[in-house]
């Protein structure tokens, strides 16, 4: 049995050990996170950007997140997988939010749920979910689901009244039972002050190094997409360019030969290679999704 999310985060915070996490959406990213022994992964509604190719997360459905979470929990310790609740009508009522979150929690096999905001609905839902045994991760600062009303992707907490509001929201989420809080694009000094005030860990994204932990989108970490990553995201690889070059070489080999290119000496019946095993894993994921009674 893997260490549970709440225990792991509390232990890291108590020992003053930074919490490391990334987003995960599939076998590839979940496997990377597991082998790197990250503290948790978030199946974020950011899949709207990096999987669906949309400009925002607005169109992501809860069923999309549940689908990807089911894949991730098979390849990363399920107890430390956090399911992100995307924008939906259930956010208008704490009762509906609790119902939707519990159902998603049960269907996906995740270890916690996360939702943006700290209004009355979110606070009441956090308290009720915590009482039901569903760990809740809060999210304040920049809220991508409210990017239109917030006026774009802007640094948060620059004005004193905004800083006071963020402090109040963080304290309210803690009081409601949240096990941790994501601080997105919060002014770094303010993020540090909030982290010092709370007894639960803060997870920063673009909020400086004074948070208790950090999270980035896996595609930004690896440079998996064309174009520039957000300014706050450090890229540790540039895999899109390498992948594009490899696919172009493959296409050239196919077009210059009557047969698809194969490794020299490869014969039918030979032991499966990494690519074969990867394909088998993907097919197994698909079969599991389509199995009767698994909807």
**Which active-site residues does the annotation give?**
184
Helices 160-176 and 188-197 pack at an angle, to 10 degrees, of: 30
Q: Name the CA radius of gyration of the chain, rounded.
A: 21
Query: Exposed e or buried b for every residue in 95-118, given b needs 16+ CB within 10 A?
Result: eebbebbbebbebbbbbbbbbbbb
Tokens for 126?
A: 């956090």
Q: Residues 6 or more apart from 60 whose CB is under 8 A from it?
A: 45, 47, 48, 52, 54, 86, 87
Q: What is the DSSP letter of 226?
A: S
Q: Residues 6 or more apart from 223 whose CB is under 8 A from it?
A: 229, 235, 236, 237, 238, 239, 240, 241
Distances (CA, A) of 219 to 24, 201, 236, 240: 9, 24, 10, 9
Which residues partner with 202 through β-bridges?
Answer: 181
Asked if 122 and 145 touch (Cβ cutoff 8 Å), the reply is no
- Looking at the chain, how many residues does it have? 295
Tokens for 89?
A: 């009508």
């Amino acid at each position: 049995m893997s260490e549970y999310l709440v225990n792991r985060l509390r232990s890291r915070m108590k020992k003053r050990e930074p919490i490391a996490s990334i987003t995960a959406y599939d076998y590839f990213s979940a496997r990377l996170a597991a082998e790197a022994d990250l503290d948790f992964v978030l199946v974020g509604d950011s899949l709207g950007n990096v999987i669906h190719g949309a400009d925002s997360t607005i169109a992501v459905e809860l069923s999309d997140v549940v689908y990807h979470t089911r894949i991730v929990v098979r390849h990363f310790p399920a107890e430390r997988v956090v399911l992100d609740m995307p924008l939906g009508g259930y956010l208008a009522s704490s009762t509906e939010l609790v119902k939707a979150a519990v159902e998603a929690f049960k269907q996906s096999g995740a270890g916690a749920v996360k939702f943006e905001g700290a209004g009355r609905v979110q606070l009441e839902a956090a308290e009720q979910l915590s009482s039901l045994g569903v760990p809740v991760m809060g999210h304040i600062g920049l809220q991508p689901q409210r990017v239109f009303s917030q006026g774009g992707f802007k640094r948060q907490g620059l004005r004193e009244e905004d800083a006071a509001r963020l402090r109040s929201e963080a304290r309210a989420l803690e009081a409601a039972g949240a096990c941790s809080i994501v601080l997105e694009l919060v002014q770094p000094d303010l993020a540090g002050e909030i982290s010092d005030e709370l007894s639960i860990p803060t997870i920063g994204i673009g909020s400086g190094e004074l948070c208790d932990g950090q999270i980035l989108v896996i595609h930004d970490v690896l440079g998996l997409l064309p174009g520039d990553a957000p300014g706050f995201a450090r890229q540790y690889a540039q895999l899109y360019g390498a992948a594009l070059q490899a696919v172009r070489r493959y296409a050239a080999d196919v077009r210059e030969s009557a047969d698809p290119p194969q490794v020299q000496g490869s014969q039918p019946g030979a032991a499966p290679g990494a690519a074969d095993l990867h394909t088998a894993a993907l097919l197994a994921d698909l079969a599991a999704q389509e199995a009767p009674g698994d909807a």
